[in-house]
Homo-oligomer: A and B are copies of this chain.
Amino acid sequence: MAESLTTHQSAGERSRQTILETAARLATVEGLDGLTIGKLAEAVGMSKSGLYAHFKSKEDLQLATIAMAREIFDREVTDPGQSAAPGATRVLALCDAFLAHVEDGVYPGGCFFVAAAAEMNARPGEIRDHIAQFVAEWLGAIATAVEQARELGEIEPQVEPGQLAFEINALLSAANLAYPLFGDPTVLHVARKAIAERLDTPADEATRGPIS
Contact = CB atoms under 8 A, between A and B. Distances in A.
Number of copies: 2
Contacts of A29: 122-123
Contacts of A163: 190, 193-194
Contacts of A149: none
A78 interface: no
B122 A119 contact: no
Contacts of A167: 171, 194
Interface in A133-152: 135-136
A31 B28 contact: no
Contacts of A193: 163
Given A29-B123, A31-B31, A123-B29, A174 B177 contact: no
Interface of A: 28-29, 31, 33-34, 108-110, 114-115, 117-119, 121-123, 128, 131-132, 135-136, 158, 162-163, 166-167, 169-171, 173-175, 177-178, 180-182, 187, 190-191, 193-194, 210
A187 B177 CA distance: 19
B109 A180 contact: no
Contacts of A115: 118-119
Nearest to A118: B118
Contacts of A132: 181-182
Contact of A34 (B31, B118, B121, B174): B31
